[in-house]
Structure 1
């Protein structure tokens, strides 16, 4: 389930005042992460409106940024992460329409969690990783989703220029919550 921020009455740039939105620039996304966000939004558009084949644009965006081979791997990793998240969540995943020039510079709350989770996985921050996964998966088992997020992060880490790579992150610690 996905939910876009398509405003009623056709006005763009007006958000539900109850929902806090964060500026994309506020969380400091790299060019690669911005492409992942754009692709995520396009995959969400495809789920929200299957007749609109935005998934094609998602793969094209990844290929443009990462090249045809790496772009297809990253596009597939984003799609797999979103698909596993959709299978886990019981409520809608809110996202921002990537085509709206007024809205696309803000993150919906679930996009924000997704990107924070991706950053946590890339940085080896096990606590932030687990916390964001639990929130996104609504307390349901997140192992399949996390596997796809780790795959996505692995592709991004492998492609990052040497200056962007952290100097050997601390070993990842998996936290398991039992009920």
Structure 2
């Protein structure tokens, strides 16, 4: 996938948060916070990670199967997306481009067939608060 800088940061942070749950002793959430701080600064990093943990937790609680993800710390693996990662990033892309039907279909795949999870709402909140395009779009529509 051709990920823009915001989407790439989202993928990196998702992977570190998934690792936190898969290997708790890795303290992946701390790495995610450091990475977010490097990209968005200390004032915005905490909120960014908090909202993304909401996405991760909603996804985890909506599934009956584990999420396959690649380790961001592996130089080889981080260049490839698992099928689940691809679906997550495609869902995020669909939401960013106001393609609700496509996003809803991908969310249903991600949630093991459950149709009405909170995944879209939580992801939309994340995007509304943190996507550079969303911030510009909101400012433009208020002008």
Q: Output one character per residue of 1:108-152: Cα deviation in whole Å (capped at 9) or x when no partner.
A: 110111111111111110111111100001112443221110011
SS of match in other structure, 2:118: helix
Q: What is the alpha-carbon distance in structure 1 between the residues aligned to residue 45 and residue 133 of structure 2?
A: 13
Q: What CA distance in whole angstroms lies between the structure 2 residues aligned with 1:71 and 1:36? A: 12
Structure 1 unmatched runs, 5+ = 1-26, 169-179
Tell me the residue number matched to 2:103. 129
Deviation, structure 1 residue 67: 1.6
In structure 2, distance between residues paired with 1:126 and 1:161: 15
The higher relative CO (CA closer than 8 Å, separation ≥ 6) is in: 1
Richer in strand (by share):
1
Structure with the higher helix share, 1 or 2: 2
Give how far 1:70 is off.
2.1
Pick from 25, 34, 58 the counterpart of residue 84 of structure 1: 58
Aligned residue-pair number: 138
Give the equivalent residue in structure 2 for 1:104: 78
With the length of structure 1 as denominator, give the TM-score of the two structures.
Answer: 0.71
CA contact (8 A) 2:20 2:29 kept: yes
Q: What is the aligned-residue RMSD (CA, Å)?
A: 1.9
Runs of 4+ residues over 6 Å off in structure 1? none
Q: Which residue of 1 aligns with 2:15?
A: 41
With normalisation by structure 2, the TM-score equals: 0.88
Q: Secondary structure at the match of 2:16?
A: helix
Q: Which runs of 5+ in 2 are unaligned?
A: none
Is 1:120 matched up with 2:109?
no
Alignment deviations for residues 40-90 of structure 1 (CA, whole Å, 9 cap, x no partner) = 000111100111111111122112111222222221111110111111100
